[in-house]
Structure 1
């Protein structure tokens, strides 16, 4: 049996009377533990208050497949009060760091001691409040870092595609430029007549696919390439299969090349075709480089705007810009099977808000909508004005939210996702941002096939400082 002197030396019981100490000793059960032993699992119902007499215990919470350290209890210490007071499952897993000893106090006796000792009661409630505050702060930071990591991974993927394409296309462009230089030398040495050269230069200035081949299917385009190859062979052009696809892709057919074949010798016509194909190929490659560069620039601009990293936290913004930036940043998730419909009221005035925090709200709501549709469905983002408020709605056609879940949606740590896939903070953070920071409202309505989260922001926003 645990000695009275050991209980008296524990800070938790320092102010208990001798009678209460004697009663307490009779209620306690002593257990030993070994390093590495799991003492209690996350999500379990606990029936005892745990007092650490010797050794050390670590608390961890499962988040996105990783066990995140949240607290350490080194003797003399205690844990388990929050679960007993709230009746909720344990918020963390407890594992022994070293060998040691525990004293277990049954829930009934724990509640009697709360009533019987004011000092014990105050100490328990103060420590429980501090621990919950620290746990929430730790997990909030972890959730933000995890969200940032997810966004970074998505951005890396989105940037990698155009960047890799730029590298490949640049290599092709270098080779195409070398071919064009050689073709240009052959063309100048062939002494082509001025009138024929003007026709050739006109064809080389093509920047878009001509209406002759625009919109036709791949089979018909391949047939056109084959037909042009046969005709070029007849005109004495070497390796026409290298030039024909580029010519057809720019809408240049036999009908436009025929007049050149009539006035030029076979050597001149061959030099002309080589120069024309090389010119069109290089133009097409440069256009691909421009498209890839614009895509990278768009992603970087969206990320910079999304984070508002070079602006004051409180600023005038067009909420549509923030929503669009969010959709660009989340493109890696949306393109798997999500269709986004936009219904914007562009007449809404700019709002003075915390831009980056509000962007996190759009991220959370859209992310939840994607999860609700299992990554394959429709999302409608709508904005409109109602009286003196700007309203943003995110609607999905997922399975809906169960009636018993609705009252708990904005509670911290409440989640319907499997353990380790969510900490139940995204909607709570969104609620705090909209309601407390911006003096707005965050509402939800749901039925199977249609769930809508509605953000209402005052048009004259007096953002909070909390």
Structure 2
């Protein structure tokens, strides 16, 4: 056996008596590893305790099909105590980051040290506690990143539609500007009377302001376009299939244009109608771009409010604003068949809370409700005051949660979702945020056709470090 002075200089073993040190020296073996050697594989059952006295270990964690670097542990350090005591397979792979010297303790020796040496047992349990906390933080971080990825995908989908509308409107607007320039030259060349142009200008402005994004019956719209197209074609208007939809969309019919046809020559009438159609089309495209840009602005504003960017973690907030921001962010998941009913008590006072964290609670509950309803059903959100607490109830009309698993809903890693769809941390995170961070309470009641998650937040928020009245 090599010199064990480095071992006994470790705080873990410094309190051993001479007799214990002699006994330990006779019951420990030594292992030498070259750089790159594997000490333990993830999923392996640990049967011995290891102490690295020279060198360093690299710790790896399998994520999906890849090995991801997790930590670097330098001598002196203990390895494998948590898995050895719990009997749970090792959740990590340990490799040598350099040439290493490792002391190996059989399980009976390790357990005897735990029983007979108080400093040893304290250090071991402190080490286990620190690593469990670190691993817990790692898992929670992965869950938050997964949730962020899901939200980002949904936001990308939501932003794509208005962004595409803006791009489409801008593209067609460039073409329409060219067409409008051509029609202006024709109007000038054909000498359309100034009073007629003034009338058309006022008419286009009036029609453009009156015409909004109100959907019309497609069949009736097509019939109106066909009738108008035939009518203007008979009067010599070029490309009537392009002109008629613009006029019909603004509510202009043949009867409205007939007086102009009687006052103008065929060339003048054609020029005037084409100018009017191009003007209306350009206004319509500008409105479409404005609505698209407004929608993008709404989504970005909601995302900023949802995450409380540029603000301190603790804010005085209106609880309803956070819920509405969450609904806006999750619109991609709700808009295809989930009807949201709001029953808000707008008289509720503002709360001093961790806003972005509380929004994560609403996200987890609403996301679970949407999955339970399979994307179709009724979601009711109700807020009210009970004594010194604000209560938020989120109810869905899904199939319900089986009675036997309801007590386990807030357990870490427990999920009823199919493999690969959930890791069972959403409600655990919600529980921690509500209970640990805000001194509140969260519960669930469920039966077929009605599942309600109830979040209770104190008006005096001691956990958040502030007071709300």
Pair in the same fold by TM > 0.5: yes
CA distance in 1, matches of 2:458, 2:404: 30
TM-score by length of 1: 0.82
* Secondary structure of residue in 1 paired with 2:457: strand
**Shift of residue 320, structure 1, vs aligned partner:** 0.9
Of residues 219-228 and 247-256 in structure 1, the stretch that sits farther from structure 2 once superposed is 219-228
**Structure 1 residue 302: Cα displacement:** 1.2
Distance change (3 Å), C-alpha of 1:323 and 1:102: same
Shift of 1:198: 5.5
User: Aligned pair in 2 of structure 1 residues 308, 28: CA closer, same or farther (>3 Å)?
Assistant: same
Alpha-carbon distance in 2 for matches of 1:156, 1:286: 23
Check whether the contact 1:437–1:465 (CA below 8 A) recurs between aligned residues: no
State the shift of 1:321 in Å.
0.7
- Cα distance in 2 for partners of 1:338, 1:98 equals 57
Q: Distance in 1 between matches of 2:377 and 2:361?
A: 21
1:172 alignment partner in structure 2: 172
Per-residue deviation, 1:232: 1.8
Q: TM-score, normalised by structure 2?
A: 0.82
Aligned residue in 1 for 2:40: 39
Per the TM alignment, residue 216 of structure 1 is displaced from its structure 2 partner at its CA by: 1.7
The Cα shift of 1:14 comes to: 4.7
- Aligned partners of 2:353 and 2:464 also within 8 Å: no
Structure 2 spans left out of the alignment, 5+ residues: none
Determine if contact 1:208/1:250 at 8 Å carries over to the other structure.
no
Q: Taking structure 1 as reference, are residues 330 and 38 closer, same or farther at Cα in structure 2, changes over 3 Å only?
A: farther
Q: Is the 8 A contact 1:63 1:421 kept in 2?
A: no
Structure-1 residue corresponding to 2:300: 300
Residue matched to 2:348: 348
Deviation, structure 1 residue 298: 0.7
1:2-38 CA-to-partner distances (Å, cap 9, x unmatched) read: 6684895583445445655566577667777773648
Match of 2:80 in 1: 80
More moved, 420-429 vs 25-34: 25-34
Aligned-pair CA distance for 1:332: 3.6
Alpha-carbon displacement from aligned partner over 1:146-175 (angstroms, at most 9, x marks no partner):
544544454344334323432331232122
**For the structure 1 residues 177 and 420, does the alpha-carbon distance in structure 2 shift closer, same or farther, using more than 3 Å as the test?**
same
Contact 1:173 1:285 in 2 (8 A): yes
- Aligned CA RMSD, in angstroms, stands at 3.8
Distance 1:275 1:255, change over 3 A: same
8 Å Cα contact 1:4-1:25 kept in structure 2: no
Residue 124 of structure 1: aligned partner: 124
- Give the superposition deviation at 1:201: 3.4
1:215 aligned counterpart, secondary structure: coil
Change (3 A) 1:110 1:382: farther
Q: How far is 1:251 from its partner?
A: 2.0
Q: Is the 8 A contact 1:196 1:263 kept in 2?
A: no
Instruction: Work out whether residues 340 and 379 of structure 1, in 8 Å CA contact, stay in contact via their aligned partners in 2.
Output: yes
Provide the C-alpha distance between the structure 2 equivalents of 1:263 and 1:382, rounded to a whole number of angstroms: 63
Q: What SS does structure 1 have at the residue aligned with 2:171?
A: helix
What is the match of residue 181 of structure 1?
181
Aligned counterpart, 1:207: 208
Contact residue 53 and residue 103 of structure 1 kept, 8 A: yes
Q: Which residue of 1 aligns with 2:285?
A: 285
Alignment-derived partner of residue 237 in structure 1: 237
Distance 1:158 1:31, change over 3 A: farther
- Check the 8 A contact 1:162/1:296 in 2, yes or no: yes
Q: How does 1:238-387 map to 2 (within 5 A)?
A: 238-335=238-335, 338-373=338-373, 378-387=378-387
Asked if the contact 1:70/1:135 (under 8 Å) is kept, the reply is: no
Gaps of 5+ in 1: none
- 1:245 match: secondary structure: helix
Report if the CA contact (8 A) 2:224-2:248 is conserved: yes
